[in-house]
Amino acid sequence: NPPCARAVFNGALSKLDNDSEEYTTIQEAFFERHASMADWPTDHSWFIGKVEIDNIWLIDIYGGAKTLDMDKYFKVSL
């Protein structure tokens, strides 16, 4: 249904190093939002990772999808 916006993010998923500062920061934020997951068994093989986005496809109205300019996307300051 084109009036409902849809975005598809593509990229490479990488597992974060458990000893990195980035891992610690993300893990703290993640468990703050999903506290029950802190007690999940470690043998379930889940991990904290990140996606290096290399393509974004967006449809927000009739007329077809657009591929966003990644340089412009990453230059946005919020």
If you average pLDDT over every residue of the chain, what do you get?
Answer: 92
Dig out the tokens for 48 from the structure.
């904290």
Number of domains in the chain: 1
Q: Is 21 inside a domain boundary?
A: yes
Q: Is 26 inside a domain boundary?
A: yes
Given a contact cutoff of 8 angstroms between Cβ atoms, the answer to whether 62 and 28 are in contact is: no
Q: Is 1 inside a domain boundary?
A: no
* Cα torsion 36, 34, 41, 21: sign: negative
Task: State the CATH number of the domain containing residue 55.
Answer: 2.30.110.10
With a cut of 80, say whether residue 1 has pLDDT above it: no
Mean pLDDT of 46-59: 94
Parent domain of 63: 6-75
Q: Identify the pLDDT of residue 2.
A: 66
Mean pLDDT of 20-35: 95
With a cut of 80, say whether residue 37 has pLDDT above it: yes
Q: Identify the pLDDT of residue 17.
A: 96
3-state secondary structure 34-46: CHHHHHCCHHHCC
Residue 57 CB coordination number (10 Å): 13
Model pTM above 0.85: no
